[in-house]
Structure formats: structure tokens, C-alpha cells
Structure 1
Amino acid sequence: MERRTLLRLLGATGAAAAAGCTAGDEEEATPTMSQTDTERRDRAGLVTVTVEEDFETTVDRIEGDIETAGLTLLATVDHAANAASVDRELPPTTLFIFGNPDVGTPLMRAARSVAIDLPQKLLVWADGSAVRVSYNDPAYLADRHGIDGQDDRLEAVDDLLRRLATGEK
């Protein structure tokens, strides 16, 4: 599937989902963190870090870092633009979908169900004046899907995701 087709499909899916919302959905609860938190790992397997950069700088940096790391960027989804296309407002929210088949394939061989959570994703989102980056905790995904014997690979994925999220080199 071509990237443009995938992006159109993702946009259409977002538009269809937004069309099904009622006016009462406008003020959906968003998990927030205090300004002093820099990283949070929650029980649902989501890691969220607060970055010092502004939203656009963070998005540009992550896109470049994905390329520099030799990963395949499959899609960039601008959820705020998708919302605007159906006359809805959403604070800046951009999703990166990317991966490396050399890393993901052994994980899927260990537990095929992990394919529902792969390729990897990073979500950049504005939370008031803060910019957050969220991603799935690889240890949580291993537990969720019963992946054993891949600890080194999972630790490397966790380190890569943390560096992409924070900008650490």
C-alpha cells in the first residue's frame, strides 16, 4: 500500500470516528501530568515524557532522529489536521508509525499477537503549555503478549524509544 493511500485511509478513519462523536464528546478527559514530572510509566503500558522543546521542534526532531536511526518511517499522522478537516478542534497531536523489520520480526515470531502493537509508535501531543511524547512500554508489550527470551532486544527497543522521545543521543 502506498504511503499516500495509507495516510488517506488513516485520515478517513479519523474523520469517520470524529463523525460518530456527539457534541458531548468535546471535553474528553485527557490524562495529565504535573509540570515537574519528566517520565511516567502507567499500568496500561504507556510511557510519557515531558520534553523541553516546543511542539513543532519536537515533531521535526523526532522525524529526523527516526531517519538517522535507520528506521523506516511508515506514516506520520497529524490528528489535529484530521480533526480540522471535519471542523473539529484538537490541540497539536502527531503520531509517528515506524519500525525495523530486523527487530520486529523476531518479536512477532515469539508471539504473533504483538503484531497488533507493531510497528512502533511515538505520539507527540501538546498538553497546555507542555509538550509530551508517549510510547508503548516494550516490557508491558512483552508481558501482554507472553514474549519470552527477548529481553536484550526489548531493552534495546526501550532505550531507542526513550532516546527518540527525549532527544538524548
Structure 2
Amino acid sequence: MKFLYGVLYTGVMLTKSGPKVIEFNVRFGDPETQVVLPQLQSDFYTLIQGLLNGKLVQPVWQNTDTYLGVVLVNPNYPAPNHQLYPVPSFSYNLVVNYASIKSEANQMMSDGGRVLTTVVHAPTLDLARQKIYSILDQTKMGLAYRNDIGKLD
């Protein structure tokens, strides 16, 4: 019997009545990957090589903090955009994954839909929310983002 190895991603949303599965995937989408992979303590390359060689791999995860990601988008998202928007740079302790970035006059600009994902971690969900929204709310920008990510009520 031949076994197949790989990744099964489960998208879960926490609701007032408990966690709800919203999707299963055999791949990671951008925002999911950008929040999950910073928690990986194992060597990603070694894990992938093991999977490709049919070996059972045991990833090691950081499991003490809560990670939270917020996507910054073009204000017209998901409608097509034809205007360049300045993209902020962050000097805070957070992970930023950029996409659709252009350089114009030494300024990062974007006319894309999803422009970047910011990721923070903290001991609790409330602290992670406070941390990320404090940073985003203090950052002057023309991009939009949801204010309810990680909110349970």
C-alpha cells in the first residue's frame, strides 16, 4: 500500500458558539501561509524534502503565542484598481509580507488588490489584537484593512 504525504490546511473561524470549519485545502493561500509559517520551528526545506521523498515528517511548532495577521488592501478591493497608493514601511516588531509593490521616486507604491499582510504574535489573542491594531491605527496610509480580525464578540 502506498501512502501519500502532504499538507492539509483547515480554515477555521472562531464564533460565539465555538470553532467552525470554513474550508479544507491541500495548499496554503497567501494570508494563511504568512501567519502559519512564522510559527514553524523546524527547517521548512527539510520538511518539504521529506514529503517529496515519501517520508513521514514531524514538524515542530512554536506553540506558546497567538499569531494574528491583518491584510492591507487597496481601498477599492476587490474591484479593479487603477490608482497607485503609497505603501507604508513599518519600523515596529512585526512581520510584513509585501505583494504588488512598485518603486516610484524612492516610495513603495501599489495598484494591486491585496498589498501586504502584517503579522504579530503575543501570549494571548487580545494582546495580539491590541498590538497589531495599535501599529496599524498609528500608521498613516491610504490602504484599507478590517478592524475585526481576531475579535470574538
Name the TM tier (shorter chain).
under 0.3
More strand by share: 2
Q: Normalized against structure 2, the TM-score is what?
A: 0.26
Q: Normalized against structure 1, the TM-score is what?
A: 0.24
Asked which structure has the greater CA Rg, the reply is 2
More helix by share: 1
